[in-house]
Amino acid sequence: MSDTTIPTSTTTTIVDLFDSMAYGPAPESAAPARDWLAAHGPHLGLYIGGEWRAPSSGEYFPSVNPATGQPLIEVAQAASDDVDAAVAAARAAFPAWSATPGHVRARYLYALARQIQKHSRLLAVLESLDNGKPIRETRDIDIPLVARHFYHHAGWAQLLADELPDMRSLGVVGQIIPWNFPLLMLSWKIAPALATGNTVVLKPAEFTSITAVAFAEIVQSIGLPPGVVNIITGDGRTGELIVNHPDVDKIAFTGSTDVGRAIRRATAGTGKRLSLELGGKSPFVVFDDADLDSVVEGVVDAIWFNQGQVCCAGSRLLVQETIADALLAKLRARMEKLRVGDPLDKAVDIGAIIAPVQLEKIQRLVAQGVAEGAHCWQPSWSCPTDGYFYPPTLFTEVAPSSTIAQVEIFGPVLVSMTFRTPAEAVALANNTAYGLAASVWSENVNLALDVARKIQAGTLWVNSTNLFDAASGFGGYRESGFGREGGREGLNEYLQPAWESAHTDATETAGTPDEHVAAVREKPLAANGHTRTARRASAAAPHAAPTGDSAHANGHANAAAIYDGGIVIPPIDRTPKLFIGGKQVRPDSGYSRLILDAAGQPLGEVGEGNRKDIRNAVEAAHAALPGWSATTGHARAQILYYIAENLSGRAAELAARITAQTGRPDADTEVERSVERLFTYAAWADKYDGAVHSTLMRGITLAIHEPVGVLGLICPTEYPLLGFVSLVAPAVAMGNAVVAVPSASHPLSATDFYSILETSDVPAGVVNIITGPCDTLAKVLAEHDDVGGIWSFSSPDTSRLVELASAGNMKRTWAPPHPRDWLDSRQGAGHEFLREATQVKNIWVPVGE
């Protein structure tokens, strides 16, 4: 134990105390929490449909106090029947709850917040006992933020109908949370789900179920209608059952990247919405003009808060070379004074690690760091041995590519590296697959904000760290997952456009309960409308997707021959190539594909793109991205207007081409709508503003919309021009560079577009177009590590493939399950598209001297 512990000898004098400045014990009483456990033991039940029940398996497992290794109580292992019952209860409660007026929902959320405040100390102690985190943290951070989350979202319930009138609830939401912030993660999940009118089945982590059960009691005590919140406990098997349940409309998950990836794969193609908050390896960047004493306290907070078991822990300390020695010396001195021990002691800084398995993981990774040549430093004192404790640990001489610099350790282990210039700091900071959070420390506000903009992460703290609030969205870039929790941006994770909810309602209103379940189980089939549309389209053009061997060598591009004085002159071949990096280039495959008209007659040929072409296009897009994303919204708007102008000038020709391909009589309308859509996004280019959130911090929290990066766009089959424009325009308006795969059967409208792009000042590489086999190209895009997101609108089969393949680097996908009417601007344009084209970065800037 620390040498700063107060001596027990009765001879201690006041002078001794002033000399040592030692802490006395400051224990929080565990008695009320122990009484609660005794009253509820030996088994905790499942809360389903407003009632408590034993698990159908009859199985229970112990929840253990990590500070002692002693069991606290037994927790139920929910099995398949329990998950079915919980989902059925949530489904039954959904129609009434989603139709409940916002004010009434607000009253329930408000009641939850009040109850949490009124029982805050009990919840804080239970949390400390179950998780091992210091009482100072549960009492002062976790539980107050839980209450804050319910208050804040009571407000959103109140305002929802006015603020987001065109949005509707999703349905039944399955929520799976980790053990590091048990009740806080519960509140991050449940509060927005309830505020937006959804019903919930939540599973806490198996190590920390107690406060979720206590919360269920609060839910019951306030009279929340049965089935609106169902809490079921169990391990990963229970989680898997929730994820795979056919009657769940959305999964919200926080936890490890590996499980997130498995969930992405399990839900691919099902039409379930998904938000994932995964791991991180967040940089903590210190410039030479930073206030080093504040920095040291910041580091303590960044990596030793919650024993470092924090997804956004500042686990990589990046220090400007000139101050590295001074900072590390101060840090080691501070580490000597940190106190590890009983979480219920209010003078303890670092509590216990959650479980032996996590402790072993930390020990293994530390050993690996040493084996890989880094220097490991720990304070001179030793940890208590009766629980799962690990000392604060500092690694220096760390190679940026080493395991400990790349892998999320999820423990009190800090790795330190140095840099020389701001550019080097940014490169090091971004040298990770993750992108959850970062801290930047400098007294120079220009430098700090510049670096904050350049680091790829969802949350940036300037001269501060680990600040959270219900008013600000939290979530990741890159492999840290997608979706946001908190604030206005988090609400959208639990809402869908009103027109889209009509698809859900259609399956939910008709029929007997059995038929209802059957209809809902068939939900992916609801997307069959989409499948059927796609199949109809390809039936009209049976040879529209030839593979290499069926590709034609003799061009039909200009089937209409030219006659001159009765002499037949062969038509000039005009097979459009691919459009990469602003140039028309031949497909790598050397093949072309035949395109048929609506009557099944040859209409032309396009290049047969392949993997290599996609790679080249992604490279070109990346080259264009820094310039394009830095271009002002005004300049991007000018270019979109210019495209619209050039499109309009060729309206008749483009309409004729649409009719030739599709046989549809409304081609003029499609062209006109395409022009309108370009105007819409030219308008938005300089208007899709972020926000300044009203958080608890004394300072400003700036929510900034940033482009996702390189976006892959798999265009709809049906509207060859409008579908293409509806995806490309919002993406480029928001500063992304795109690789678009046009309609496989009607690609000629997109290839006609090359010349419009070439004459509209669109910088080379901003828009790249690869024609060819949709599925093959979509899969390559989805697997590509340098593609930030992918939109899939061609068919449910392609969407499934995209969602599956994207799990590799957890890229964002947008593959809506329902077909949409592209001519309708509510379905084919607007906020939904802008949101998908951007990611929100929250930058926290404290103010004051």
Peptide bond into 422 cis (omega under 30): no
**From the CB of 31, what's the least distance to ligand NAI, in Å?**
29
Asked if 620 contacts 765 with a C-beta cutoff of 8 angstroms, the reply is yes
Helix (H) or strand (E) holding 677: helix 667-684
What does the per-residue mask of binding to ligand NAI show for 358-387, with x meaning CB under 6 A? x--x--------------------------
Binding residue count for ligand NAI, defined by CB under 6 A: 26
Q: Residue 360 and residue 372: Cα distance in Å, rounded?
A: 18
180 binds ligand NAI (CB under 6 A): yes
**From the CB of 524, what's the least distance to ligand NAI, in Å?**
19
Nearer to ligand NAI, 475 or 789 (CB): 475
Nearer to ligand NAI, 203 or 523 (CB): 203
Q: Going by DSSP bridges, is the β-strand pair 172-176/60-65 parallel, antiparallel, or unpaired?
A: unpaired
Nearer to ligand NAI, 154 or 313 (CB): 313
Q: Residue 845 and residue 462: Cα distance in Å, rounded?
A: 5
Asked if 138 contacts 169 with a C-beta cutoff of 8 angstroms, the reply is no
Residues between 393 and 432 that touch ligand NAI (CB under 6 A): 408, 410
233 binds ligand NAI (CB under 6 A): no
**From the CB of 203, what's the least distance to ligand NAI, in Å?**
6
With contacts defined by CB under 6 A, name the span among 9-17, 248-256, 443-451, 553-561 that binds ligand NAI.
Answer: 248-256
With contacts defined by CB under 6 A, name the span among 174-182, 599-607, 690-698, 773-781 that binds ligand NAI.
Answer: 174-182
* Chain residue at closest Cβ approach to ligand NAI: 239
Asked if 456 contacts 427 with a C-beta cutoff of 8 angstroms, the reply is no
**From the CB of 261, what's the least distance to ligand NAI, in Å?**
10
- Best CA proximity match to 243, nearest among 205, 203, 212: 203
Nearer to ligand NAI, 308 or 735 (CB): 308
What does the per-residue mask of binding to ligand NAI show for 609-638, with x meaning CB under 6 A? ------------------------------
What does the per-residue mask of binding to ligand NAI show for 256-295, with x meaning CB under 6 A? x--x--xx--------------xx----------------
Nearer to ligand NAI, 395 or 434 (CB): 434
243 binds ligand NAI (CB under 6 A): yes
Q: Residue 633 and residue 21: Cα distance in Å, rounded?
A: 58
Q: Residue 262 and residue 244: Cα distance in Å, rounded?
A: 11
Residue entry with tokens 């971004």: 430
**From the CB of 664, what's the least distance to ligand NAI, in Å?**
45
Nearer to ligand NAI, 435 or 609 (CB): 435
Q: Residue 667 and residue 656: Cα distance in Å, rounded?
A: 7
Nearer to ligand NAI, 239 or 314 (CB): 239
Nearer to ligand NAI, 274 or 541 (CB): 274
Binding-site member from 168, 203, 657, 818 for ligand NAI (CB under 6 A):
203
Q: Residue 482 and residue 494: Cα distance in Å, rounded?
A: 13
Binding-site member from 255, 473, 546, 796 for ligand NAI (CB under 6 A):
255
Asked if 480 contacts 458 with a C-beta cutoff of 8 angstroms, the reply is yes
352 binds ligand NAI (CB under 6 A): no
Q: How many CB atoms lie within 10 A of CB 110?
A: 18
**From the CB of 407, what's the least distance to ligand NAI, in Å?**
9
The token pair at 57 is 């398996």
Q: Residue 362 and residue 411: Cα distance in Å, rounded?
A: 6
Asked if 309 contacts 342 with a C-beta cutoff of 8 angstroms, the reply is no
Q: Residue 41 and residue 39: Cα distance in Å, rounded?
A: 6
With contacts defined by CB under 6 A, name the span among 38-46, 84-92, 239-247, 734-742 that binds ligand NAI.
Answer: 239-247
The verdict on whether 311 is a catalytic residue reads yes
Q: Residue 717 and residue 662: Cα distance in Å, rounded?
A: 10
483 binds ligand NAI (CB under 6 A): no
**From the CB of 576, what's the least distance to ligand NAI, in Å?**
46
What proportions of the chain, in percent to the nearest 5, are helix, strand and coil?
45, 20, 35
Question: What letters, b where the CB count within 10 A reaches 16 and e where it falls short, cover 196-216?
Answer: bbbbbbbbbbbbbbbbbbbbb
729 binds ligand NAI (CB under 6 A): no
179 binds ligand NAI (CB under 6 A): yes
551 binds ligand NAI (CB under 6 A): no
**From the CB of 241, what's the least distance to ligand NAI, in Å?**
8
**Which is the catalytic residue, given 28, 137, 277, 489?**
277
254 binds ligand NAI (CB under 6 A): yes
With contacts defined by CB under 6 A, name the span among 23-31, 68-76, 255-263, 692-700 that binds ligand NAI.
Answer: 255-263
**From the CB of 470, what's the least distance to ligand NAI, in Å?**
18
- DSSP reduced 3-state for 420: coil
Q: Residue 3 and residue 720: Cα distance in Å, rounded?
A: 74
Q: Residue 146 and residue 697: Cα distance in Å, rounded?
A: 16
Binding-site member from 240, 450, 508, 666 for ligand NAI (CB under 6 A):
240
Say how far residue 531 (Cα) sits from the centre of its chain: 27
Q: Residue 393 and residue 542: Cα distance in Å, rounded?
A: 65
The token pair at 10 is 């009765």
**From the CB of 421, what's the least distance to ligand NAI, in Å?**
31
Asked if 54 contacts 147 with a C-beta cutoff of 8 angstroms, the reply is no
Nearer to ligand NAI, 178 or 283 (CB): 178
178 binds ligand NAI (CB under 6 A): yes
- Best CA proximity match to 840, nearest among 586, 539, 483: 483
Nearer to ligand NAI, 296 or 437 (CB): 437
**Which is the catalytic residue, given 311, 383, 715, 774?**
311
Burial of residue 11, with CB atoms counted within 10 A of its CB: 0-12 exposed, 13-18 middle, 19 or more buried: exposed
236 binds ligand NAI (CB under 6 A): yes
- Best CA proximity match to 350, nearest among 823, 2, 819, 36: 2
With contacts defined by CB under 6 A, name the span among 253-261, 439-447, 696-704, 810-818 that binds ligand NAI.
Answer: 253-261
Helix (H) or strand (E) holding 286: strand 283-286
Binding-site member from 55, 102, 239, 576 for ligand NAI (CB under 6 A):
239
**From the CB of 315, what's the least distance to ligand NAI, in Å?**
11
- DSSP reduced 3-state for 35: helix
Using CB under 6 A, list all residues that contact ligand NAI.
Answer: 176-180, 203, 205-206, 235-236, 239-240, 243, 254-256, 259, 262-263, 278-279, 311, 358, 361, 408, 410
Query: Would you please indicate which residues are annotated as catalytic (active-site) residues?
Result: 277, 311
